[in-house]
Structure 1
Amino acid sequence: MNKFPQFAAVVGSILLTTFTLNVHAEDGLVRLKSVSSVADTADKLETVLRAKGMTVFSRINHSKGAESVGLTLTPTEVVIFGNPKIGTLLMNCSPQVAIDLPQKALIQQDKNGQVWLSYNDPQYLAGRHNMQGCEEPLKKVSGALNKFAQKATQ
């Protein structure tokens, strides 16, 4: 009897469980747990993005904004970044995708103290904007975003 299918099923189950514990996708968002604080995760993300030739357009600290008006908010930052070479390809497939570009990463601490990095799933955006003929650039964007997020959250 071949035991490989049973072994493969067990390994697959373990990998799926591990992946599910660290990465979540809801409502078009990909969410990864971070081992660092919000500020450190955002710093790591900026470093990774710049090293890969991405443009970091802005970093918004929503917690400081809340504080400036006498309110409180758990640590929450957004990093806005992109690359015109790939963004232009996507906008040529569907000009409306420009409303979701440049890319954004949300880094926030939940009420339990866990830090999360979230970003828009490019496949979700493709469906949202009825993008046709952009499979290759979308695949590249998905892979790059995943790598950036993995490095920033470890």
Structure 2
Amino acid sequence: MIRNISLALVVLIASTQAYAVESLITLESHYSAKETADRFESIIKDKGFTVFTRIDHQKNAASVGLTLRPTEVIIFGNPKIGTQLMQCSQLVAIDLPQKVLISEDADNNVWLSYNNPEYIKQRHNIKGCDKVINKISGVLSKLSNAATSK
């Protein structure tokens, strides 16, 4: 009996892990944090995306006498695509507009991170919208690679 329960538990854990998706996609940049953020912003503007805001957390920390390594968030979107995703599940609007985080770690490595569209799909139990999710995944990957690669 205990062996059967153990086997069932192993199968349950394995199947749960098979469906787990990393929530963030992170790429190392070959540029400084500021240059990476500037490059990303320029690229998305050139592609017709709307930049809603750029938040400089390091600057905000300094304004209250605190220190923080370079940390910026760029919030951007394209209603032609975002609306299609919200039509699949209106709750996904809590994760829109899209955002990227550009940060520098303690070893001076610079990273660009964004929400994995597959994670958003799982989070909101989106069904029947793989074409939109795949398009978003491809676009975010291309934009991020362009901003971080030499």
Q: Which amino acid aligns with 1:117?
A: L
Shift of 1:94: 0.6
What is the aligned counterpart of 1:45 among 40, 44, 50?
40
Gaps of 5+ in 2: 1-20
Distance 1:131 1:52 in 2: 27
For 1:133 and 1:39, the matched residues in 2 are separated by: 38
User: Which portions of structure 1, spanning 4 or more consecutive aligned residues, are displaced by more than 4 angstroms?
Assistant: none
* Helix, strand or coil at the partner of 2:85: helix
Q: Percent of counterpart pairs with the same letter?
A: 56
How do 1:107-122 and structure 2 match up within 5 A? 107-122=102-117
Between the aligned partners of 1:44 and 1:33, the Cα distance in structure 2 is: 14
**In structure 1, how many angstroms separate the alpha carbons of the residues matched to 2:111 and 2:146?**
13
- Residue 27 of structure 1, CA deviation: 4.1
* Structure 2 counterpart of 1:131, from 111, 120, 126: 126
Residue 67 (structure 1) aligned with residue 62 (structure 2): yes
After superposition, what is the alpha-carbon deviation per residue over 1:61-96, rounded to whole angstroms, capped at 9, x for unaligned?
Answer: 000000000000000000000000110010011111
| C-alpha distance in structure 1 between counterparts of 2:51 and 2:132, whole Å | 20
- If you compute each CA radius of gyration, which structure gives the higher value, 1 or 2? 2
- 1:128 deviation in Å? 0.2
How far did residue 51 of structure 1 move?
1.1
In the alignment, structure 1 segments of 5+ residues that lack a partner are 1-25
The aligned amino acid for 1:145 is L
Which amino acid in the other structure matches residue 46 of structure 2? A
Normalized against structure 2, the TM-score is what? 0.84
Residue 133 of structure 1, CA deviation: 1.4
Give the residue type in structure 2 aligned to 1:30: I
Give secondary structure in 1 for the equivalent of 2:128.
coil
User: Given the alignment, which residue of 88, 96, 104 partners 1:93?
Assistant: 88
Query: Residue in 2 aligned with 1:57?
Result: 52
